[in-house]
Structure 1
Amino acid sequence: MKEFQIGVKALIVDNGNILLMKRSKKYHGASLEGVLDIPGGRINFGEEPIDGLRREIKEETGMELDNIKRILDASTIFKDEKRHIVRITYLCSVKDTNVVMSEEHTEIQWTPLEKIDFEFKDKLIGKCVKLIST
């Protein structure tokens, strides 16, 4: 059976800083342990992408999205003969920046946009950061 999934991610910006999270080994495996990520996940069957985004952000950070400003990217992130995954990345802000981290991540950091001078393992995150930095 062929499977199609939609993932959603939030590039959360607050006062010129973006929220980055380090992936945990427990949830993401040894190869992705410590990799910088932004919060998000897959939407459920029948769920609107925005509702899935709000749910995922609440689950992973404890925060509520305040403003979903725009879509930064929509791309295929995985495709083979059995599965196709598309991810939509949104530019967002939150009501309160206090993070309650889930077990999916081991560390959070609010990083100033101007201090991001490194490459992301996930090239689509890097692409989205560059879009809002220019």
Structure 2
Amino acid sequence: MKILNIPELKFLKVALEKNPKANFNFEYLEKSNAIATLILNYNATKTLLVNQYRPGAKKNIFEIPAGLIDAGEEPIDTLFREVREETGYEKKDFEIIYASKDGFYVSPGYTTEKIFIYIIKLKSDDIIPKELKLDDGEDLYPQWFNLDEVSKVSNDMKTIFALNIYKNLP
């Protein structure tokens, strides 16, 4: 495997790997793993989506809160950090009702990234979230939606995937 050093890229590393059965190189991205969380209100009738600009979509989209796992950080710790940063809710405010064990490959044909999906439920609808703690460059806005509205306002894969996991929980 050869990783190309491109200083302008902060989150992605372009990599080449020789195909073991043919005479060509695979091109792919070495990328940090991530978490994403479907946040439900106490009655599990609504979810909190964040609206932010996404360069791949070339527009603002609604999606579930998500974030990259820092080096040496466990996915569960990233969950607590990202939920606090992007929504204002703290770990004492919710219970985890689903956690993926090994993560899901985002697109194994071009990236090493896996995403760990969590589904959490607030312990009360009366909880007032703290002020957001956004990273530099983040500009997002949380908004509650009825669960049946999500597929109408978002075409983000991780959002729809997490919603379908929730709908199929026992």
Q: Relative to 1, partners in 2 of residues 1:60 and 1:70: Cα closer, same or farther, differing over 3 Å?
A: same
Match of 2:71 among 45, 50, 56: 45
SS in 1 for 2:67: strand
Identity value in percent: 25
Structure 2 equivalent of residue 126 of structure 1: 160
What is the total number of aligned residue pairs between the two structures?
A: 130
TM-score of the superposed pair, with normalisation by structure 2 = 0.63
Aligned to 1:6: 33
Please tell me whether Structure 1 or Structure 2 has the larger radius of gyration of its CA atoms: 2
More strand by share: 1
Q: Relative contact order (C-alpha < 8 Å, sep 6+): which is higher?
A: 1
AA in 1 matched with 2:163: V
| Residues 1:107 and 1:59: Cα distance change in structure 2 (over 3 Å) | closer
- For residue 113 of structure 2, give the secondary structure of its aligned residue in structure 1: strand
1-side partners of 2:39 and 2:138: how far apart? 17
- Partner residue, 2:148: 114
CA RMSD of aligned residues (A): 2.7
Instruction: After TM superposition, give the deviation of residue 43 of structure 1 in Å.
Output: 0.8
Stretches of structure 1 that go unaligned for 5 or more consecutive residues are none
The gaps in structure 2 that reach 5 residues or longer are 4-14, 16-29
Distance 1:31 1:112 in 2: 23
Describe the shift of the 1:21–1:32 C-alpha distance in structure 2 as closer, same or farther (beyond 3 A).
farther
Letter in 2 for 1:128: A
Judged with a 3 Å threshold, the aligned counterparts in structure 2 of structure 1 residues 61 and 46 are, in CA distance, closer, same or farther, namely: same
